[in-house]
Amino acid sequence: MNISTLQPLGWSHFFLQQASTQTFEKLQANTLQAFRISAIHRSVIKGLGNDWNKGEVELLCPENFQPVSEHFGVGDWVIAEPVHEHFRITEVLEAKNQLERLSNRKRQLIAANLDYLFIVTSANSDFNLKRLERYLAMAYESNIEPVIVLNKIDLTDKVDDYLDQIRGLKVHNLVSISMLEPDSLLSLNHYLKAGATIAMVGSSGVGKSSLINALFNHVVELATSVLNSVEVTDNMQATGGIREDDDKGKHTTTSRQLLINQQGVLFIDTPGIRELQLLNAQEGIEQTFNDIVHLARQCKFTNCAHQTEPGCQILQALENGELPLSHWDNYQKLLKEDAFNARSAQGAYAQKQYMKSFSKAINKVQSKHRQNKGK
Ligand SMILES: Nc1nc2c(ncn2[C@@H]2O[C@H](COP(=O)(O)OP(=O)(O)OP(=O)(O)O)[C@@H](O)[C@H]2O)c(=O)[nH]1
Ligand SMILES: [Mg+2]
Ligand SMILES: [Zn+2]
């Protein structure tokens, strides 16, 4: 193995130093190889290794790494051994960072080893600040720098309104673009570094795949195309952002895949998420809502529940309009949901226990209420 061969894929000493002496020697002798996971489609797993410029290699996944979705995701690094003409995964390396969410009551990895998370939204009815807050919390939780990408600005004459709303979220990175205005894409140049990995997330149809295609005309699609043709649903006239094999219109992405363009930027395209459910994201939520956290610290009582307490800064800020009610509501909602989801992912038993204690607490409140009424 030659480190520089894998460097364009994002390989670094962080991964190399995880290898035991024995693994290291085998990597040197090429009796083991490192691969970056580039696609996971049902049971088919693909990776890019030493010969990455020749395309993907199918990787066999032994039972101890199944279900795959719980062990690694697109963007993760694995070690694999050659078995006949295939490679079999022997080890999954610890990731620099991983994006996860709750899906079907299970933890699901969205992508791993990212430098930036492009949170794509469109300047039309899809736009939703609360949804952006969810994505931000997910990014912060994983220590991945978020970039909010407001796309389809050709569809509105109120771009500044949208931008003002997003600025309220205090994000460092915000760009507004349109596939129909190629110059607008220049604002993304800052993030497009060779060897950097950028994942695109957002609702279906916001233009994640179009953006990957449009940024670089020379995107080399290493992953096999796993796209479904669907009806044209949007009003994009130009086809600049459309894949080569598509002259009809929209293709919805059905699985995650890693793509590398000729400038050496790595992209992870993901299918649109209907409703992002956070998982283990408490710190990320606190960071997203740090204005609220800051206010709460100034409440008169350290254990203030922000209900009726005197000297409550939250109540005061809500009253004088400094703190928008929807922002406060979303904060509470996300915290509750996150706690619930954590239990949900831990399993049905823990979930039952939680519901039990929850209903106990409610019963307590209700019986107290009845007692008070009876007085
Ligand atoms: N008007 C306009 N349409 C756009 C723009 N960018 C993308 N579109 C259109 O929006 C539709 C959806 O684009 P996609 O790139 O497939 O969206 P996606 O986010 O990848 O969607 P999923 O794969 O389903 O998650 C397509 O018809 C695009 O042509 C834009 O800047 N302006
Ligand atoms: Mg797509
Ligand atoms: Zn308070």
CATH value at residue 35:
2.40.50.140
Residue with CA closest to ligand 1 atom 30: 152
> Could you tell me if residue 190 is inside a domain?
yes
> Could you tell me if residue 75 is inside a domain?
yes
Helices (H), the chain: 3-6, 13-16, 21-28, 68-71, 129-141, 159-167, 208-215, 282-288, 290-297, 313-319, 325-346, 348-374
Q: What is the mean pLDDT of residues 137-146?
A: 96
Ligand 1 proximity of 210 Cβ (cutoff 6 Å): yes
Distance 305 CA to ligand 3 centre (A): 6
Are residues 306 and 368 both part of a single domain? yes
Query: 3-state SS string over 104-172?
Result: CCEEEEEEECCCEEEEEEECCCCCCHHHHHHHHHHHHHCCCEEEEEEECHHHCCCHHHHHHHHHCCCCC
> Could you tell me if residue 277 is inside a domain?
no
Torsion sign over Cα 324, 140, 166, 291: positive
The band of 366, judged by pLDDT with boundaries at 50, 70 and 90, is: low
Query: What does the pLDDT look like over 172-189, one tens digit per residue?
Result: 999 999 999 988 999 999
Does 254 have pLDDT greater than 80? Answer: yes
Ligand 1 proximity of 344 Cβ (cutoff 6 Å): no
Are residues 136 and 233 both part of a single domain? yes
Are residues 147 and 37 both part of a single domain? no
Are residues 263 and 123 both part of a single domain? yes
Listed range (4-13, 103-112, 235-244) with the worst mean pLDDT: 235-244
pLDDT value of position 362: 55
Distance 208 CA to ligand 1 centre (A): 7
Query: What does the pLDDT look like over 333-365, one tens digit per residue?
Result: 999 999 888 887 776 555 556 666 656 655 555
pLDDT value of position 264: 87
Q: Which of 269, 294, 319 is the last residue of a domain?
A: 269
> Could you tell me if residue 125 is inside a domain?
yes
CA triple 77-81-82, angle to 5 deg = 125
CATH code for the domain in which residue 112 is found = 3.40.50.300
Q: Which of 269, 301, 327 is the last residue of a domain?
A: 269
The band of 106, judged by pLDDT with boundaries at 50, 70 and 90, is: confident
Are residues 120 and 260 both part of a single domain? yes
Ligand 1 proximity of 176 Cβ (cutoff 6 Å): no
The total of structural domains in the chain comes to 3
Q: Which two tokens stand for residue 324?
A: 């928008």
> Could you tell me if residue 111 is inside a domain?
yes
Rg (CA), the chain: 24
Distance 283 CA to ligand 3 centre (A): 19
Query: What does the pLDDT look like over 45-83, one tens digit per residue?
Result: 999 999 988 889 999 999 999 888 889 999 999 999 999
| Cβ 32 vs Cβ 88: under 8 Å | no
Are residues 167 and 252 both part of a single domain? yes
Ligand 1 proximity of 256 Cβ (cutoff 6 Å): no
pLDDT value of position 70: 82
Distance 293 CA to ligand 3 centre (A): 10
Q: Closest ligand 1 atom to the C-alpha of 200? A: 19
CATH code for the domain in which residue 305 is found = 1.10.40.50
Are residues 114 and 201 both part of a single domain? yes
DSSP annotation of 173: -
Ligand 1 proximity of 250 Cβ (cutoff 6 Å): yes
Ligand showing the shortest atom-to-Cα distance for residue 252: 1
pLDDT value of position 241: 34
Q: What is the mean pLDDT of residues 133-145?
A: 96
Q: Closest ligand 1 atom to the C-alpha of 242? A: 29
Domain of 199, in residue numbers? 98-269
Q: Give percent of the chain with pLDDT exceeding 70.
A: 82
Ligand 1 proximity of 152 Cβ (cutoff 6 Å): yes
Residue with CA closest to ligand 1 atom 3: 236
Q: Which of 34, 66, 92 is the last residue of a domain?
A: 92
The band of 242, judged by pLDDT with boundaries at 50, 70 and 90, is: very low
pLDDT value of position 132: 97
pLDDT value of position 300: 95
The band of 104, judged by pLDDT with boundaries at 50, 70 and 90, is: confident
Are residues 55 and 199 both part of a single domain? no
The band of 282, judged by pLDDT with boundaries at 50, 70 and 90, is: very high
Q: Which two tokens stand for residue 61?
A: 């996944």
pLDDT value of position 346: 74
Are residues 109 and 192 both part of a single domain? yes
pLDDT value of position 250: 59
Are residues 243 and 313 both part of a single domain? no
User: Is residue 174 within a helix (H) or strand (E), and if so which, with residue range?
Assistant: strand 174-176
pLDDT value of position 351: 58
When comparing pLDDT for 263 and 160, which is higher?
A: 160
> Could you tell me if residue 275 is inside a domain?
no
Distance 128 CA to ligand 3 centre (A): 27
Ligand 1 proximity of 272 Cβ (cutoff 6 Å): yes
Are residues 138 and 17 both part of a single domain? no
Are residues 142 and 244 both part of a single domain? yes
Does 244 have pLDDT greater than 60? Answer: no
Q: Closest ligand 1 atom to the C-alpha of 151? A: 31
Ligand 1 proximity of 241 Cβ (cutoff 6 Å): yes
The band of 140, judged by pLDDT with boundaries at 50, 70 and 90, is: very high
Q: How far is the C-alpha of 282 from the C-alpha of 336, rounded, in Å?
A: 10
Ligand 1 proximity of 107 Cβ (cutoff 6 Å): no
**pLDDT, mean over the chain:** 84
